[in-house]
Amino acid sequence: MEPLINDKYTDNPNERVLDSVIEKRNAGSRVVGMYCGYAPVEIVRAIGATPVFLCAFSRKTIPEAETVLPSNLCPLIKSSFGFIKTDTCPYYALSEAIIGETTCDGKKKMFELIGHIKPTHVMDLPQIPEEKEALTAWTTMVGKLKTFLEKTFGSEISDDRIEAEIKETNYKNRLMNDLFGYMAHNPPLISWNELNDVFGLEYVSNSGELKHLLDGIRVKLDQRLSKGEFVGNTGAPRVLVSGCPVGGDALKVFKAIEEAGGVVVAMEACSGMKGYSIVIDEDTGDPVSALARAYLKIPCSCMTPNQRRFDMLDAMIDRFRPDAVIDVILQACHSYNVESYRIEEHVRGKHGLSFLKVETDFTESDRAMIRTRMQALFENI
Ligand code: SF4
Ligand code: SF4
């Protein structure tokens, strides 16, 4: 099949994103490093900075991280700390400010170890989102992020600029959700790794650039449909992948799904479609509060209770019609691991779907075993 993005980076899409950030930095944009979906990118963009997500998905940096961090910690935290310790994350090197959040204990404590290197701001995330005090506290935190960026970069962020970025995000999210329709198609027309390339570019594009990119991609996807070119084999089990963020060396799980004969039709995690479900109120006159309301609804397992994740899964199952849900749990991620029990009950009980929990890390040692478990799962569909 013809590549959806056909340029000099086709074989190395990570370079495409990095070069785009370097280009923006050379053109005068500040760069702000981020870790998690709870930090409102609209505030970062409103000050004219480019948000980037810091490297965190390679096993290469873990041995160095383990000279400081416990080995039985989430590989994502170890990897990101290792990148900083070995000075090998190009996005961290380009960043002039870093934003963290108090989502899980390991990440929260890791920020204490890196906070002295660059201006680092940690947002205190309330974790019982339905309490009315939670919204008040989170609104204060979003306001403090604005103040941090203003002080760090020595310029003010106007409400009008934030309002404009809110509209940008809502529009971009609508564009991305339209694109997801090609994955919902049966059989799917776009693969998980093609979608990952678009996710990478979305972060460094404005809505005009994204629309231009997606217009071109849609033409190619429509051609695939008319030629009868699909992703995966006819009748391949359709898989919704949920759970912890997945990228880099953890993509072995997606590869194992394909090797076992399945096809990925939806990606629930923050590294996938979750962030694009946000809808932010426009033109309220109080954009900081509007951002706080929208972001506090992100259904991460650090929240309790986390009913919105179940609601989101219901909507995704209705739209993408999977045969199975595979819940990816990174080693020592207790909140996603504990929540997995209820996710299994939910997808089996309410939707009658097959379910598999895959607890893994960034090594290759369990790849064959994961593939075998998936083969067994798919044989029973
Ligand atoms: S899974 Fe939770 S902690 Fe991790 S990036 Fe997503 S929102 Fe943040
Ligand atoms: S995967 Fe889990 S343990 Fe790892 S950083 Fe995210 S929330 Fe924390």
Pair 238, 198: CB distance under 8 Å = no
pLDDT number for residue 137: 98
Asked if 264 and 191 touch (Cβ cutoff 8 Å), the reply is yes
pLDDT tens for each residue of 198-255: 999 998 999 999 999 999 999 999 999 999 999 999 899 999 999 999 999 999 999 9
Distance CA 151, CA 145 (A): 10
Answer whether residue 11 shows pLDDT above 90: no
At 71 the three-state DSSP class reads coil
State the distance from the centre of ligand 2 to the C-alpha of 333, rounded, in angstroms. Answer: 5
Question: Using CA atoms, how far apart are residues 70 and 251, in angstroms rounded to an integer?
Answer: 23
Residue nearest ligand 2's atom 4 by CA: 74
Mean per-residue pLDDT over the chain, rounded: 97
Nearest to 161 by CA among 291, 35, 10: 291
Place of tokens 């929260």: 108
Q: What is the pLDDT of residue 309?
A: 98
Report the percentage of the chain scoring pLDDT > 70: 100
Rounded mean pLDDT of 60-76? 98
What is the per-residue pLDDT across 99-156, written as a single tens digit (0 to 9) for each? Answer: 999 999 999 999 999 999 999 999 999 999 999 999 999 999 999 999 999 999 999 9
Residue 107 near residue 100, CB atoms below 8 Å:
yes
Report how far ligand 2's centroid is from the alpha carbon of 256 (Å): 22
Name the token pair of 324: 């199975």
Question: Rounded CA gap, 299 and 205, in Å?
Answer: 25
Using most ligand atoms within 8 A of CB, pick from 108, 274, 302, 312 the residue to mutate for ligand 1: 302
Q: Do residues 84 and 114 make contact, with C-beta atoms less than 8 angstroms apart?
A: yes
**For the chain, what percent of residues have pLDDT higher than 90?**
97
Q: Domains plus CATH for the chain?
A: 13-156 (3.40.50.11890)
User: Quick one: average pLDDT of 42-69?
Assistant: 97
CA of 255 to the centre of ligand 1 (A): 22
Q: Can you spell out the DSSP letters for 164-226?
A: HHHHHHHHHHHHHHHHHHHHHSSS-SS-HHHHHHHHHHHHT--HHHHHHHHHHHHHHHHHHHH
10, pLDDT greater than 90: no
Ligand 2, atom 6: closest residue by C-alpha = 244
User: Helices marked H in 204-306 — which ranges?
Assistant: 207-227, 252-259, 287-295
Pocket of ligand 2 (CB under 6 A): 74, 76-77, 103-104, 106-107, 244, 330, 333, 336
In the chain, beta strands by DSSP E: 30-34, 49-53, 97-101, 120-123, 238-243, 263-267, 324-330, 354-360
**Residue 109 burial (CB count, 10 A):** 13
Pairing relation of β-strands 324-330 and 238-243? Answer: parallel
One-letter amino acid identity for 238? Answer: R
Report the relative pairing of strands 324-330 and 263-267 from DSSP bridges: unpaired
Judge contact between 145 and 39, C-beta under 8 A. yes
From atom 3 of ligand 2, which residue's Cα is the shortest distance away?
A: 333
Whether the pLDDT of residue 31 is over 90: the answer is yes
As a whole number, mean pLDDT of residues 272-277 equals 96
Distances in whole angstroms, Cα of residue 184 to Cα of each of 86, 178, 179, 237: 41, 10, 9, 13
The angle that helices 192-203 and 159-184 make with each other, rounded to 10 degrees, is: 170
Q: Which residue minimizes the CA distance to atom 2 of ligand 2? A: 333
Q: Averaged over 177-181, what is the pLDDT?
A: 98
| Amino acid 18: pLDDT | 96
